[in-house]
Each structure stands twice: as structure tokens, then as C-alpha cells.
Chains A and B, each alone.
Chain A
Amino acid sequence: MKRLAFGLLVTCLLPLAAHADDIAASVRARLVGAVVVRGEFEQTKTIAGFRKPLVSRGDFLVARDKGVIWQTREPFAGTLKLTRKEIVSTNGDQQTLHLSTSDQPQLQAVNALLFAVLAGEVAPLEKDFAISGSLRGAQAWQLELQPKSAAFARAFTRIVLEGDRFVRRVTITEQSGDHTEIRLLKVNAEPAQLSADEEKRFE
């Protein structure tokens, strides 16, 4: 479940979120619609009982019709792959999690949600989340998502997205009080095609 919510989060990075809301529409207008987005991330997680925050860094790749690759380089090597059919997590060279939508059909709902957002139809998002936010300046915006359904609410209480042409920062607050901040750096929508290597990573 945690990984699914994480995947959901990732789709918000895609500059396509269109809401029935005014703010949602405005934010959408400000985002660059892109087919492929690449960049680096820096994630800082503050967990109760950890005197120091947990910092991880890596790269990400989001392709609208394929899915998401989230590759961590520090402090451990691991990959998270989300596609329409499955979610695979690898730690080092060991596969630690493999969920396919045929075995766990509820994944399908979330993945469908994922890709609905990708396609720009966010009616489902509207159904499961209370959306609010504001515009800042000429380019920037901020959105806050609060889950409506009990299942998502157990996972997190709030997600805050900030950005301009692309999403730049995501902040997630969990039920337990743990707090994660992900900063997206060197975000780029060019080239708009996936290279052969990148295609392979989605398999």
C-alpha cells in the first residue's frame, strides 16, 4: 500500500494535473504538458526515533504511457518501477517486492488512477482527494491534497505539491507524524522520446 501511494504521488509530478477546481485548472495552465520527464531527486525523511533525518538521492524517469522509474543511488542502491501491470522493487540486485495487478487487483485501481492523471483526466483524483491550493506570483503554485478514502488516509494525511512549470517539491505528512520532503532537481522534458535503454528499463 505504501508503495502505491508513493506511485500516486509521483504522478502528481507530471505537469498534467487538471482539476474541475479553479485552482486545479489554473495550476494545469501553468504546467508544461510533457510526455517524458527526467531529473534527479533528493529525499529527506524525518522519522520519529531517528536523531538525524534520512536522506536519499537518485534519478527518476516518468513516461506518460509507460510508467515511472525511481532509482535511488545513495545511501543504498534500489529501484522502484511502476507500470500499468506491476510494481517492482529491487534492493541492490535482489528483488524485494513484486506486485502484479492481476494478483493484487486493488493495485489496478490505484494504477488506473495514476494513468488517469497522466492522461489528464483527473475526475478520479477529485473523487478520492480534497484539493485546495493557491497561485503565487506569475508562475508558481501550491496544491494541497487530502485523502477522502479511509484506505489512503491510513497511509498519509496530507500531500503538498509546489512548483511552476514542473513540480519542484513534494511534501508528505504521514499519520505517524513522519514527514518526507522530496525535491526534484534538474527537471527536464527533453528529449520527448524514450531512448532504447530507457525503454528496456520499463520491461
Chain B
Amino acid sequence: MSDRRWRYLALAWTLVVALLIAHNFRFWTSGSERVDSDVLTLLPRDAQQAEANAAVQKLADAAAQEIIVLVGARDWSATQRAAAAAEQVFARRPDLQIDAGLDAQRMTRMIDSLTPYRAALLTDAQRERLRTASGDQLAARALALASQPIGGALAWRDDPLGLFAEGLLSRGQFMKVRQRDGRLAVDGEGRSWALIRLHRAGPAFRLDGTTRLADAVQAATAAAQRQAADADVIASGIPLFAEAGAAQANFEMNTVGWGSLAGVLVLMWLAFRSLRPLLLVALSLLIGCLAGISACALVFEKVHVITLVFGASLVGVAEDFGIHYFASRQDAPQDTPRALLRAHAPGLILALITSVVAYAALAIVPFPGLRQMALFSAAGLVAAFLTVFCWFPWLDGKAVRRTRVSRWLSGTRQRWPRLDNRRGAVLLGLLTLACAVGWARLGAQDDIRTLQNSPVALRNAQVRASRLLGLPSPAQFILVRGDSADAVLRAEEALKPALVPLVAQGQLERWNALSDWLPSQARQADNIRLVAAAQQAVWQRLATPLGLDAAPAVSSRTLDLAQLEAGPLHDALARLWLGRLGDRYASVITLTGVGPASLPALRAAVADHPGVSFIDKPADISRLLGHYRQAMSALLLLGFAFVFVALWRRFGRRSWRALLPTALSCGLALAVLGWFGMPLQLFHLLAIFLVLGMGVDYGIFLLEHPSADSGAAWLAVAVGAASTQLSFGLLALSQTPALRAFGIVMGVGIGAAWLLSPMLCTYDDALIAQEHAS
């Protein structure tokens, strides 16, 4: 390429980098939440389960900012004091708002809003009673009610059978939480608990490793215990989990990132003993990171913390190009940087392509988290490469010294054992045998619960709080769909009789459905008819003895969803009604008291009802993980084929030399899992893709310079592989099981790849000459 072209290239890249910097600046200072720590966004978007995903998302969104705090002591007055102290602590925090409880006025408004429709809102038990009771029984009951010295809010005439009050009572009966001395209270575990509901508010979430919410809870606990020595405080809510996850991610991101960078810089110093290579490589890494973040910001609008942790490991991979550049320059000081790059470009580009494609393979799995990781890494690699290609010739001109370490390392290639002789064949045989043993012991595990990594304390708190408050299961529910809101309600009503026996058998404690409060229009009309008939029967018998005036008319007004949503019951029922999902409407029936033994019965109960599905999120995701594990296994073979073809175009018959070490290292990595009894999961398999993509790079570089005297290529590979292994090794220390899986497989795979590559990719000059001739 001419001088001018190089100049344009450098300028163009400068422009791109300037845009990257500007974009990143704007992204990070925009003030709104830019870092996503929501675990749910990582969950897969199974196309077939779009509605289920939307339902889960909606349920999660409703609770996304809520924190529940339960303060309990054995004595109620002690609890009250402790709760007041805790509230004071929370009130001082700007990022927390205390939600007012359900006060008496709100209750009154709710009841008043339903009163005009009382004839239409019968419970199932009441319907049964009205259908089967005789006129005399009804009259007797009406008379008894009339005789009560103190009536209710409704005059007797308006509700002679007392149905409305009874209905409200039975619907509210399951609520464990009730009003007590102006607080929300619940009893359990031998204590009286006060419930404080908090709402996370205030400035956007910051990824700085602080755990402000957890600190607030701790301070509140201390304050509560000062008031009552035996006070216990339980705090649970999505923000707490998110904060813990972010703090941990922050720690790991720093560990992996700075650790890898330190490793890279130390290795480079040993190899080149000069500041310029260090700075330039660090620059290429920085630009790579900026590009990764920008790409994610553009496509996903937010960056997830797990992407940042994984992306920190990119430091150990993207430096390959810079190191290659400097190793080559060290070896051939007489060549100009541009000439060198031009000569090495094909090899470097091939290496880049295999790595990018390997990362792209991660994006096949519909996990948004993985797709982000793939995009980040691919963009970062490309940007690092372009920095080396476009800028390094301009920024670097002076000679690169040889150092003792670089000379020694380069020299080791000559002494490296070879696999293409007889001794090597034996070694190969032993290796394969060892792998086979490992493979035999390899099992598979797809259960998503093994990937759980939130702190145990938080999980226990959540279980306790759910039990105390009688909360429904967040992971299992029934999704009901229909073409209209009324169709959904009708479907619910059709389903509920199938759930009744499950409650009787103890498989289910209770359910909570929208149709419990709002019957379908058809049922409301039927209810009105029943009430009118019952009232008439009562009046027939009591009119004369009691001297009653004419019977009051039964209101035929029915309640519809729009009115309910506009009224004060909106909040309470919002979690059950999903509204429009795609082209249908949907509601959720929440389930309480579901155990693992109940799942088959629930599935069976739902089976005969069209439009109704039983959603078991953990099981569904686990199934998805298993499905993709198998799919990716097949794809892996395809990947090998693709790489082989790509290599063939460049290296012809020598391609197997580059591919075999990688294949062996993949096998070895899997074998190691088997040896240590770790079951194979999807993430291990995805990491194998990365091993393939990056391990083959070493083969490529060595094949470009197969002579044992070409120490530079070997130096670059060794230093590059060491840094890659270091950064993924650090990733293996992560608390997140998915990232740990990546780290282990990559650590073993890359290590094996760089040890095995020179064994096959080094051969004598005679052979080279022969191949050149042919």
C-alpha cells in the first residue's frame, strides 16, 4: 500500500476513535441507568415462550423497586418500638422511600367502589349456596340478619342475605397481613412482625462496588435491636439482589481486568524491556474496551455487569495483535513497520476472523447476556486489531530491543518436543487415552439452579419473608390467555374447578386469580339472576310477617375490567392482569404453597384447557439450556469444519498441523471436567468454541513461520497465550458459575493449545523447501 493509503487509514481510524471516546463519554455521563444488573435480562428469550417471558418480565417489573422489611420481636409493643427505630433510619436515606400502608380510608374507598355491583360479585361458595338452599332456609337467614341489633354499612333491604360483606370477608381471609395499631402486621415464627414497605428511589444505580441498600438494612437492624434486644430484621427484594450482584461483579471486573493488565504488562516488559511497546499495547486494549462498550450501548442500550466482567478478560486476548507486531519487529529490525504489517496481515486477519467467529458462536444461543458478551468481545478484538494496523506504524518507529527473556523464549522452540515423530506418536496416544478416560466420566447437568449465585443470606431471607407473608411462588404460575378480557376471565372460571381438588389434596395451598374478584360478564349476569331469585324467595315469605314494603330491585349493573382498573382496587389486582400480550390478552393466576411434588399435578390440571399454560420458569430455562447444549455440540463439529476450510485456503495440506493441537486441547479441556467430576453445561461448551477460535490462532501464527529458527512467532504466541491464560484463569475464580465455567475450560484449553501447537507446527527447513517447491 502506498504511503498515502496508510495515511488515510490512520486518519480514518483516528476519527473512529474520537467518535468512540465521545460516545463513551456521553454514555457514562448520561445520568440514567446505564449498567444493568437485573438478572432477568440474562434469561433466554425463547421465541415459543414469548408470552411467558412477557408475563415473567411484567411480574418482575412490578416488584423491581420494592424492598420488604420485616421487623419482629416476641412482644408486639417491642416490635412497634423496633420498627419505628428502623423506619427512622430508612427515612434518612435519600434513595429509599417508605410506602404508606393500606389505611382505613383506602379500604373504605375500595369497598364503596364495589358496592353498586354487589349482586354481580358472588364467590363460588355463595353461588353454590344460593343454588342449593331452599326458600325457607334463605328466609330464615335473612330474618336472623335483620334481627341483629347492629347492622352493617348497608341497610338490610339492600342486602338481605348479607352476601356482600360475607364475600369481602372470605376473599380477604387469606391475607396474613392485617392492620394493627396503624401498622401492617403479621405473625409467624413465634414473633409479631411489623411490615415496612420500601421503594427504591433517587439517583441512578452506580457500579462502584458500594452496597448502600445493604448498609441501610444493617443500620436499621442495629437501631431496631437497640430498642428491643431480641428484634430480628428480615429484608428482601429485587434491588438487594441486584446490588449484591453488582458489587460482586464490580470486584471481579477489577480483579480480572487489572490482574490481566498487570500480567500482560509484566510479560511484555520481560519480553521487550521498553516502555513504548507496553504503552502502545495498553492503548490498543483501551480502544478495544471502548469499542466493546460502544457496540453494546448501540445495540442493547445498556451494558450488563456480567458483560463487563467477561469483557475484562478480553484484555488477555486482544493484546495478541500488539504483541505479534512487536515480536515481529524485534525479530526483523531492518523492516519498516508498514512492510512488516503488510507481510503479516493475512495471518493476523485470519486469526482475527477465527476469533471473532468463535465469539459470534456465543450469540447463537438466545441468551441476551451471551449476546452482549459476544458483541463486546468481537467489537473489542476488531478495534484492537485496527489500532495495531492503522496506528502502530505511525506511533512506533524505533527499534525494538531483544531481551534475554525474549531470546531464551524464542530459543525454546528449537528444543520443543515434536509430535510428528515416533516418540511424538506415543505421546499422542497417551494423551488420547487420558482424554478418553475423562470423557467417559463426563456427565451433563442442565439445571439452572446450579447456576444460582446470589448470596445465601439474601436467598434465605427471601424464603423466610415469603413464608411469613404467604406470598405466592414467583417462579411458577398459570398463564391464561384469551381473545378478549372477558374470554380470559371465562377461561379462568373454567379452570378453577380443576384446581379445587389440588387444594384438597394439599398439593396447593391456594390460588389467586383475577376472576375471584371480577367474574366474567356471563357469570355476573348469572349471579344477578341468582340473587334476584333468592331475594324474591325471601320477600315472599317475610313480607307479611314483617310488614315489608315492596322488594327493592336488584341492580343489574355489571363490573368490567376498565372500571376496575380505574378504581382503587387497581394496585391490588395489577399483578394479576397482564393486559395485551402480542395479539391476545393474558392474566396470571398466582399459586401459593407449590412444592416440587405438586408440579406434575398442576401440569395435568392445566392440560385440557386451551389457552391456559402452566409456567415453571426454572424448568423451562433448564430445558432450554439442555436443548442448546446439544445443538451447540453439533455446531461445534460444524465449526471445526469451517475452520478447516478457512485454513485450507491459506495453508493447503498443512492445515491439519494447525487444527490438530486445537482439537486435542478441546478434548483435553472436556476430559479435565470429567476427571474432576464437574458435569458438562452449556457454558463449558460455549467456552470450547472460544478455545477453538483462539487456539487455532497459535497454529496459524506458527505455520506462518514454521522454521524452528523463527523465534519471533513463537515468542508472540507464548506471551499472548500466557496472558490469555492468565485472564481466563482469573475468570475461573469468579463467583458466577457461568463465568467460572468459561474460565476453567479456557484456562485448560488455551494452555494445552499453546503447549501442543509448536509440537506440530515446527518442522525442518528441508520439508519447508519441499513444500514450497510443490
**Which residues of A approach B to under 8 Å, CB–CB?**
1-3, 5-6, 9, 43, 45, 47-52, 54, 56, 72, 75-76, 78, 89, 91-92, 94, 96, 99, 103-106, 109, 150-151, 154-156, 170, 172, 174-176, 178, 180, 182
Contacts and interface: CB of A to CB of B under 8 A. Distances in A.
Interface stretch (B423-431, B544-552, B747-755): B544-552
6 contacts: A2-B152, A49-B157, A52-B547, A104-B169, A105-B178, A170-B149
A75 B143 contact: yes
A74 B452 CA distance: 67
Interface string B125-165: 00000000000010011011011111111011100000001
A56 B765 CA distance: 119
B104 interface: yes
Given A75-B143, A94-B137, A50 B546 contact: yes
A2 B146 contact: no
Given A49-B548, A52-B547, A43 B149 contact: yes
A47 B151 CA distance: 10
A92 B549 contact: no
B179 interface: yes
Given A50-B546, A52-B546, A75-B545, A150 B104 contact: yes
Interface string B535-546: 000000000011
Given A9-B150, A43-B149, A150-B104, A92 B140 contact: yes
A77 to B, nearest CB: 9
Given A72-B144, A150-B104, A176-B155, 17 more contacts: A2-B150, A2-B152, A45-B146, A48-B157, A50-B146, A51-B549, A52-B547, A72-B147, A91-B141, A91-B144, A104-B169, A105-B185, A106-B179, A106-B180, A155-B150, A170-B149, A176-B151
A45 B147 contact: yes
Interface in B169-185: 169, 173, 178-180, 185
A103 to B, nearest CB: 6
Contacts of A175: 153
A72 B169 CA distance: 25
A50 B547 contact: yes
A44 to B, nearest CB: 10
A151 B341 CA distance: 86
A54 B146 contact: yes
Contact of B178 (A54, A106, A156): A106
A91 B151 contact: no
B149 A96 contact: no
Given A49-B549, A52-B547, A94-B137, A2 B144 contact: no
B140 A76 contact: yes
Contacts of A109: 180
Contacts of B146: 45, 47, 50, 54
B143 A172 contact: no
Interface in B528-580: 545-549
Contacts, number: 96
Contacts of B156: 47, 49, 178
Contacts of B151: 2, 174, 176, 178
Contacts of B187: 105
For the complex of A and B, the 3 pairs showing the least CB-CB separation, nearest first, are A51-B547, A52-B547, A180-B149
B327 to A, nearest CB: 77
Contacts of A99: 169
A110 B178 CA distance: 15
Contacts of B179: 106
Interface in B412-441: none
Contacts of B137: 92, 94
A195 to B, nearest CB: 27
A48 B150 contact: no
Contact of A78 (B144, B153, B185): B144
A150 B178 CA distance: 17
A53 to B, nearest CB: 9
Contacts of A51: 546-549
A128 B695 CA distance: 81
B104 A174 contact: no
A78 B147 CA distance: 11
Nearest to B136: A92
B549 A151 contact: no
A130 to B, nearest CB: 18
A155 B151 CA distance: 7
B149 A6 contact: yes
A56 B144 CA distance: 9
B548 A50 contact: yes
A46 B152 CA distance: 15
Contacts of A150: 104
Given A49-B157, A176-B155, A9 B144 contact: no
Contact of B150 (A5, A49, A91, A96): A5
B150 A174 contact: yes
B148 A6 contact: yes
Contacts of A154: 153
Nearest to B166: A97
B509 to A, nearest CB: 14
Nearest to B550: A49
B548 A54 contact: no
Contacts of B143: 54, 75-76
A52 B151 CA distance: 17
A154 B178 CA distance: 19
- Most B Cβ at <10 Å: residue of A52, A109, A176: A176
Contacts of A89: 144
B150 A6 contact: yes
Contacts of A170: 149
B153 A56 contact: no
B313 to A, nearest CB: 55
Nearest to B107: A151
Nearest to B179: A106
Contacts of B165: 1
Contacts of A172: 149-150
- Most A Cβ at <10 Å: residue of B137, B148, B165: B148
B147 A151 contact: no
A54 B149 CA distance: 10
A92 B138 CA distance: 12
B183 to A, nearest CB: 12
Nearest to A96: B141
Contacts of B549: 49, 51
A202 B150 CA distance: 23
